[in-house]
Amino acid sequence: MQRTHALNVAQDVESLFHPYTPLDKVRETGPLVMTRGDGIYVEDDQGRRYLEAVSGLWCTSLGFSEQRLMDAAQQQFRQLPYYQLFGGRANEPSIALSHALIEKTRHLGMAMAMFANSGSEANDQAVKMVWYYFNAIGKPHKKKLIARERAYHGVTVMAASLTGLAGNHADFDLPIGDRVLRTASPSYYHYGRPGETEAQFVDRIVGELEALILREGADTIAAFFAEPVQGAGGVIVPAAGYWEKVQALLRRHDILLVADEVITGFGRTGEWFGCDTYGIQPDLMTVAKALSSSYLPISATLVSARVYEGLTQGSRRNGQFAHGVTYAGHPVCAAVALETLRIYEERDIVGHVRRVAPHFQRRLRGMEQHPMVHASRGVGLIGAIELVQDKATGRTFEAGSPILARVVSAGFEVGLICRALRDTLAVSPPLIITEPQIDELFDKMGQSLDLALADARAAGLMP
């Protein structure tokens, strides 16, 4: 479909209700309309080309032009464009995909996979499974869920309730109910106290978690939800030793661990899963995004044999497991996801991430030289820098400062798409990125920071 930029803007402003967008401003600025993809690059409706350094929403792992995924979709469309999984029915791609997913996660303790369409839904159904499980095994008092500050688990009513970001709660009347308990984010950078070592920080926040569990009563707590590396909350790489101590604590108190691998799954951290990188043995896992390189929507909630056995007991009692969405295991989405996993294997994408990640992390650390950058952090092919007004003290810009938005808009000018999260600038490029492209990414990031710095100086905000 060939449309003009002017027509796109006119119709967008009239009719397209944009998610996660300032609704008033977008009507003045108009949308940024992408029309084409080519490897790690995208092109807009005015012919401008951008290096997509966040893979869309941390998700297009194989870039924007993988022919094999398009072919896999077409072939499945021709053969069987839809069939459902309710009532024991199935379609071949979803069977093959669940098998492949369990093969990949068996060492993490996963045994069965239920599909959905988005990360939010996968987490939502994980919550329902956790409650159903404890009811089925005769522990109906275990209801509360622990989630962390800065967590991002999605936007459905329950996933947004687990999310630990104020912006996702304000005016949505969330969190819902009183079943979500909040605990600390493992960010030593943000929350370490003066003079406190990283190890002391971990002991303190794990101690606070234990105190919370004891105060509430372990027999009332069902599960702990967590991303191995927090993404939308600011790319929080957990403090060293955190996961080991948290898991020991949860095990002691019979609290299930739900690992939200929606961003970290499938190579992002340099291992197949964030759980591999941090030695996490979860009871449930949620995956989405890179599962299909996001060419089509599909997600899954994976459960251990122990949890599945409990759910089966409940199903026996109730006549069935009365949960599932129309598009769960959609054959075309599943066929594309299956082909994605085949490509990861055949091209050794995880090995590629391990090979290029040191260069990526080196260039990321190099950004700390810039007058507006106070710190950097990352793992594998995910990273972030902290933008500050005063480099010496680490003082940040005022909330909503135009300089923060300027860093992103300057990126557009130089052909780079990054993601701003409060004072954090995040990057998470397609996993197929090469070393020269990593250089291009960080060269462009430097140019956009320079443009923003010039504006900050012109406004008298920085020396």
Ligand X SMILES: Cc1ncc(COP(=O)(O)O)c(C=O)c1O
By CB under 6 A, the residues from 275 to 294 that bind ligand X are 288
Select 288 or 416, whichever has its Cβ closest to ligand X. Answer: 288
Choose, by CB under 6 A, the member of 260, 283, 386, 423 that binds ligand X.
260
For position 54 contacting ligand X by CB under 6 A, the verdict is no
Select 202 or 262, whichever has its Cβ closest to ligand X. Answer: 262
Question: Residue 17 corresponds to which tokens in the numbers above?
Answer: 């209700």
Provide the minimum distance between the beta carbon of 263 and ligand X in the complex, in angstroms, as a whole number: 4
Three-state secondary structure call for residue 335: helix
Which range of residues in 38-46, 47-55, 92-100, 115-123 is near ligand X by CB under 6 A? 115-123
Which range of residues in 247-255, 259-267, 339-347, 359-367 is near ligand X by CB under 6 A? 259-267
Distance, in Å, from the CA atom of 53 to the CA atom of 429, rounded to the nearest integer, reads: 4
Choose, by CB under 6 A, the member of 246, 262, 300, 425 that binds ligand X.
262
Provide the minimum distance between the beta carbon of 168 and ligand X in the complex, in angstroms, as a whole number: 11
Which range of residues in 119-127, 333-341, 358-366, 443-451 is near ligand X by CB under 6 A? 119-127
Which range of residues in 112-120, 142-150, 339-347, 411-419 is near ligand X by CB under 6 A? 112-120
Select 365 or 422, whichever has its Cβ closest to ligand X. Answer: 422
Greatest alpha-carbon pair distance for the chain in Å reads 70
Distance, in Å, from the CA atom of 222 to the CA atom of 46, rounded to the nearest integer, reads: 51
For position 153 contacting ligand X by CB under 6 A, the verdict is yes
| Beta-strand pair 221-226/144-148 | parallel
Provide the minimum distance between the beta carbon of 285 and ligand X in the complex, in angstroms, as a whole number: 11
Number of residues in contact with ligand X under rule CB under 6 A: 15
Provide the minimum distance between the beta carbon of 120 and ligand X in the complex, in angstroms, as a whole number: 3
Choose, by CB under 6 A, the member of 119, 265, 383, 429 that binds ligand X.
119
Select 262 or 403, whichever has its Cβ closest to ligand X. Answer: 262
Select 337 or 449, whichever has its Cβ closest to ligand X. Answer: 337
Choose, by CB under 6 A, the member of 31, 63, 154, 411 that binds ligand X.
154
Select 60 or 120, whichever has its Cβ closest to ligand X. Answer: 120
**Which residues does residue 258 pair with via DSSP β-bridges, in sequence order?**
225, 284
Which range of residues in 24-32, 151-159, 235-243, 453-461 is near ligand X by CB under 6 A? 151-159
- Nearest CA to 205 among 215, 193, 217? 193
For position 308 contacting ligand X by CB under 6 A, the verdict is no
CB atoms within 10 A of CB 20: 8
Provide the minimum distance between the beta carbon of 336 and ligand X in the complex, in angstroms, as a whole number: 15
Select 285 or 372, whichever has its Cβ closest to ligand X. Answer: 285
For position 69 contacting ligand X by CB under 6 A, the verdict is no
User: DSSP string covering 45-97, please?
Assistant: TTS-EEEETTHHHHT-TT-S--HHHHHHHHHHHHH-S----GGG---HHHHHH
Select 125 or 135, whichever has its Cβ closest to ligand X. Answer: 125
Select 291 or 388, whichever has its Cβ closest to ligand X. Answer: 291
Choose, by CB under 6 A, the member of 263, 275, 287, 290 that binds ligand X.
263
Choose, by CB under 6 A, the member of 120, 168, 340, 424 that binds ligand X.
120
Choose, by CB under 6 A, the member of 9, 13, 26, 57 that binds ligand X.
57
Contact 154, 118 (CB under 8 A): yes
**Binding characters for ligand X, 219-258, by CB under 6 A (x = yes):** --------x---xx--------------------------
Distance, in Å, from the CA atom of 358 to the CA atom of 378, rounded to the nearest integer, reads: 10
For position 149 contacting ligand X by CB under 6 A, the verdict is no
Report how far apart the first and last C-alpha atoms of the chain are (Å, whole number): 49
Helix extents (H) in 116-170:
119-136, 157-162
Q: Which residue is nearest to ligand X (CB)?
A: 119
By CB under 6 A, the residues from 163 to 192 that bind ligand X are none
Buried b (16+ CB within 10 A) or exposed e, 207-242: eebbebbeeeebeebbbbbbbbbbbbbbbbbbbeeb
The residue behind tokens 């082909």 is: 339
Q: 299: part of which helix (H) or strand (E)?
A: strand 299-304
Q: For residue 247, give Cα distances in angstroms to 50, 76, 100, 166.
A: 41, 41, 27, 27
Sheet holding 373-379, edge to edge: 373-379, 382-387, 424-427, 419-421
- Nearest CA to 266 among 248, 286, 280? 286
Distance, in Å, from the CA atom of 349 to the CA atom of 62, rounded to the nearest integer, reads: 9
Q: For binding to ligand X (CB under 6 A), which residues are involved?
A: 57, 118-120, 123, 152-154, 227, 231-232, 260, 262-263, 288
